[in-house]
Amino acid sequence: MSLIACDKVSFSYEKQIVVNELSFSIEKGDYLCIIGENGTGKTTLVKGLLGLKKPSGGKITVGDSFQPTEIGYVPQQTVAQKDFPASVYEVVISGCLNQRGMRPGYSKENKERANSNMELLGISDLRKKCYRNLSGGQQQRVLLARSLCATTSLLLLDEPTTGLDPVATTEFYSMIDRLNKKHGITIVMVSHAIKEAIEHAGSILHLSHSSYFYGTVEAYRHSTFGKRFLGGMEDDHIN
């Protein structure tokens, strides 16, 4: 069974439909990129997948052994978040809050998990550094380590490379590829970067104001959506 399946799902605000009859599924091990112009409902869909907004139509079904609370979420950063006055370790281990329950403090297992994820993402040497003093690329590694403390199955990333320089962006995509292929983490990434999406993802969900595309990257290349939005990029890919 799919981790998450959307069957003709619609979302509305004040009776205004934002997402209309959307059907797709997220399977274990998938790498799905959600792309589309502004105002096509990407953020609204993210809220729906996280269980923060109920559909106005259709149905979202989760697998028997999976819950939306198990999603590791990396949101778009605000200015206030970038200036958060906490140590790297404090930010990372806060991803274990849902597992802590009513217990005061963090368990030995929580601490080991935070240390393991910092090591995995190459930020162990930053553990005592203040988060707000880090570069954009370092901050994204910290947030990624935090999200991995919340899940071992699915990461949902909302525009994670916004504001990163080209080198940091390339490194970030390499990390996500490794988490997906080597560690089996299912990836769902919202992005405006269509070129990077088709280079790294396995499937594409492209939202527009009137319709949508859902399928493999190869099918997207040959679709009306792909031919329209990829344009000259496909010639570069072929050459």
- The CATH number covering residue 203 comes to 3.40.50.300
CA 20 to chain centre: 22
Task: Work out whether strand 71-74 and strand 154-158 pair parallel, antiparallel, or are unpaired.
Answer: parallel
Q: At which residue do the structure tokens 């206030």 appear?
A: 80
Asked if residue 71 belongs to a domain, the reply is no
58: left (phi over 0), alpha (psi -120 to 50) or beta: left
Tokens of 9: 């799902």
CA dihedral over 219, 221, 223, 225, signed as positive or negative: positive
For 202-224, the pLDDT digits (tens) are 999 999 988 999 999 999 999 98
Asked if residue 106 belongs to a domain, the reply is no
Collapsing DSSP to helix, strand or coil, 16 comes out as strand
Contact 126, 88 (CB under 8 A): yes
Of residues 143, 145, 150, the one with CA closest to residue 71? 150
Residue 212 burial by Cβ neighbours in a 10 Å radius (0-12, 13-18, 19+): buried
Asked if residue 194 belongs to a domain, the reply is yes
Asked if residue 23 belongs to a domain, the reply is yes
Q: Is the pLDDT of residue 85 over 70?
A: yes
Asked if residue 53 belongs to a domain, the reply is yes
pLDDT for res 203: 96
Structural domain that includes position 18? 1-66+188-216
Asked if residue 161 belongs to a domain, the reply is no
Total structural domains in the chain? 1
pLDDT for res 236: 42
Asked if residue 175 belongs to a domain, the reply is no
H-only helix segments in the chain: 42-49, 79-82, 88-93, 97-100, 108-120, 136-150, 166-181, 194-200, 217-222, 224-230, 233-238
Contact 99, 174 (CB under 8 A): no
Of residues 115, 165, 116, the one with CA closest to residue 140? 165
pLDDT band with cut points at 50, 70 and 90 for residue 195: confident
Distance, in Å, from the CA atom of 155 to the CA atom of 59, rounded to the nearest integer, reads 21
pLDDT for res 102: 61
Asked if residue 146 belongs to a domain, the reply is no
What does pTM read for this prediction? 0.89
pLDDT band with cut points at 50, 70 and 90 for residue 100: low
Q: Is the pLDDT of residue 239 over 60?
A: no
For 10-68, the pLDDT digits (tens) are 999 888 899 999 999 999 999 999 998 888 999 999 999 998 999 999 999 998 878 77
pLDDT for res 101: 61
